[in-house]
Chain A
């Protein structure tokens, strides 16, 4: 009997309107575990190289894991995997919330969706049954409206993963949202849903996920609930959420400001965690998670209202749409966040595309002739709100901006390339690698373009005895490592924590729940898998599964023509900081960086071009990929 996993994966062909199911054997689940592992498997097998990501040839996978849906702590995540319309690489993105556990409780481990529906459609899943239904009445509606209509129609217990107009109109950085406030944020996977005429996936699941030892799983949840308040990082998340990070970044001289031309923002205090408190109404969390780090805001006075059903802005949003655009008004940012959530736009790529366009405008590379008369200037909150509408509906200049910053740069020409802050076409998150060089390696080496959760971040490991370092001692990282270091120990730290973080992704574990960012120790991650599945497994086997996935992602990209030339960083990061307490300092050495990339390849078992060596492929038991290369 399957324990932990369901043993059923749906195959949905939207072109033919056909629904089928596969019943993989236990070894499939043990090898790939879930999430991106399962997603990469199907993408490699079922998709040809060179497919246009917005064509019906793209394969779209939604996958939970062998522990999702159990009562364990901080494991709400599921992955969406498809070829990314933003980067052209494999695309992957995780979301918390409630949808992943509901998918399992609804009778499926994963969905593999191919083709394109003739008319707007949604998938309806209820306890092992899957139907393709018409969604004409939902098309064009905001996420809040669609969710309400679906609930009125199908009952309050449903969970909805869906796109708003941004996804329908195939904005290249449209995301997918569940329960209006949790997102598969990056890589433009919402546009892939839009290209398939797929508005939503609705799940009603009331089956219990059978486990080998549920008592042990509940004990681990109790451990997190009891210990959370004594764990500074977990408690910090509970107390103030991610917005608290903004003040420290500004004080530390590394808050991305005005397309990273500045490193401190004079109005930082007006847009940070404290400013947001004025509109805070309650905490929210995810399925079976005691940490409850999400902060819900409501604005009901002043020139505009912000509806609390859309949650509240996280750090990334406050920085990418705030300091990065020179906007120092928290109400505007709360409103912008609400609009992005209604329309399903990724706030990081949106903010960075706008800031890039603004710097180009400032330097005369874009003029009002290109922007339908709009003055694209930093610091204009009204302009931000107007542009979000234009982008989501691809109106006027919104069409140009909906393509993301790299395509815009290619259109403008070589001078614009120097101002671009993207890796493999994906805009950089709000973490400046010049104060934590390992984050630069993550950005460069990520298979999905710049991403800040490809590994863990350097500052957690700089002090002996710190929770971050103690949390990964069982991986054999024993000594503190400084943040401005790119030598062997740092590369090893990034490689090992990449495997650890990807293990979380494939298992659906939230990075805000587990070490090194939070409280759940690695030993208990292992216990969760053992208790869910009954397997006599080990951390070794789980990390090897993550390494397997990492290599499958790489091989997908190799098949698409990506290689070493793409594992690099934007020019600005090799230049010193411009303003603030670090002005004139902290340029990353290009030579050190290139050496670190080579070293990483060697540690990973890849050749100088970043291609997995045959021995590595054999060791990971994925020789089969060769047939599809």
Chain B
């Protein structure tokens, strides 16, 4: 199992129990699988960082990773 810290920003907070959550995930869970678990609407997430980096959605999350989800921003 991998312990992963997840932070949901702004409008995405409605998908979680708290702004910052710690989840126990099966080994090799990918970013996409974590997103599916939250059930975000397609295209709703704009940026995903893992430990401050920008890996692809097929990136496998390691123990103690810190994941942050930011909503899509289509112009301001």
Contact = CB atoms under 8 A, between A and B. Distances in A.
Interface of A: 232-233, 235-236, 239-240, 242, 244-245, 247-249, 251-253, 273, 314-316, 430-431, 452-453, 456-457, 459-460, 462-469, 511, 516-517, 581-582
Contact of B54 (A247, A316, A463, A581): A581
B53 A240 contact: no
Nearest to B70: A248
A201 B41 CA distance: 45
Interface in B39-76: 41-44, 46-47, 49, 52-54, 68, 70-76
A431 B76 CA distance: 9
Given A233-B72, A240-B10, A459-B74, A251 B49 contact: yes
Interface residues of B, number: 21
A273 B74 contact: no
A397 to B, nearest CB: 30
A516 B73 CA distance: 11
B39 to A, nearest CB: 12
B76 A315 contact: yes
A249 B41 contact: no
Given A251-B49, A464-B42, A236 B75 contact: no
A248 B41 CA distance: 17
Nearest to A439: B75
Contact of A314 (B49, B70, B76): B76
B10 A273 contact: yes
30 contacts: A233-B74, A236-B10, A236-B71, A239-B10, A240-B11, A244-B11, A245-B73, A245-B76, A247-B9, A248-B46, A248-B47, A248-B73, A252-B49, A252-B54, A315-B73, A316-B76, A430-B76, A456-B74, A457-B75, A459-B46, A459-B72, A459-B73, A465-B42, A466-B43, A466-B72, A469-B43, A516-B74, A517-B74, A581-B52, A581-B53
A260 to B, nearest CB: 17
B32 to A, nearest CB: 11
Given A247-B70, A249-B47, A463-B43, 18 more contacts: A236-B11, A245-B73, A247-B9, A248-B47, A248-B72, A252-B54, A253-B54, A314-B76, A316-B76, A456-B75, A459-B72, A459-B73, A463-B42, A466-B43, A466-B44, A467-B44, A517-B75, A581-B54
B75 A466 contact: no
A361 B71 CA distance: 37
A239 B71 CA distance: 12
A456 B73 CA distance: 11
A516 B74 CA distance: 8
Contacts of B46: 248, 252, 459
Given A235-B11, A253-B54, A581-B54, A465 B43 contact: yes
B10 A232 contact: no
A232 B41 contact: yes
A48 to B, nearest CB: 36
B9 A460 contact: no
Contacts of B74: 233, 456-457, 459-460, 468, 516-517
Contacts of B53: 581
A161 to B, nearest CB: 23
Given A581-B53, A582-B54, A248 B71 contact: yes
Contacts of B52: 251, 581
Nearest to A585: B54
A52 B54 CA distance: 49
A453 B70 contact: no
A239 B14 CA distance: 11
A232 B11 contact: yes
A457 B9 CA distance: 21
Interface string B21-39: 0000000000000000000
A247 B74 CA distance: 14
Nearest to A480: B43
A234 B10 CA distance: 13
A420 B74 CA distance: 25
A252 B75 contact: no
A102 to B, nearest CB: 26
A264 to B, nearest CB: 10
A511 B75 CA distance: 9
A266 B68 CA distance: 17
B73 A249 contact: yes
B54 A453 contact: no
Contacts of B9: 244, 247-248
Contact of B43 (A252, A314, A430, A460): A460
A244 B42 contact: no
Contacts of A463: 42-43
Contacts of A516: 74
Contacts of A581: 49, 52-54
Given A240-B11, A465-B42, A467-B41, A251 B47 contact: yes
A242 B49 CA distance: 21
A444 B70 CA distance: 28
A239 B10 CA distance: 8
Contact of A468 (B10, B43, B47, B54): B43
Contacts of A244: 9-11, 71, 73
Contacts of B68: 251
Contacts of B54: 252-253, 581-582
A456 B43 CA distance: 15
A511 B10 CA distance: 21
B71 A466 contact: no
Nearest to A253: B54
A533 B54 CA distance: 50
A-B pairs with the 7 shortest C-beta distances? A466-B43, A248-B70, A315-B76, A465-B42, A242-B76, A245-B73, A236-B11
Contacts of B70: 247-248, 251-252
Contacts of B72: 233, 248, 459-460, 466, 468
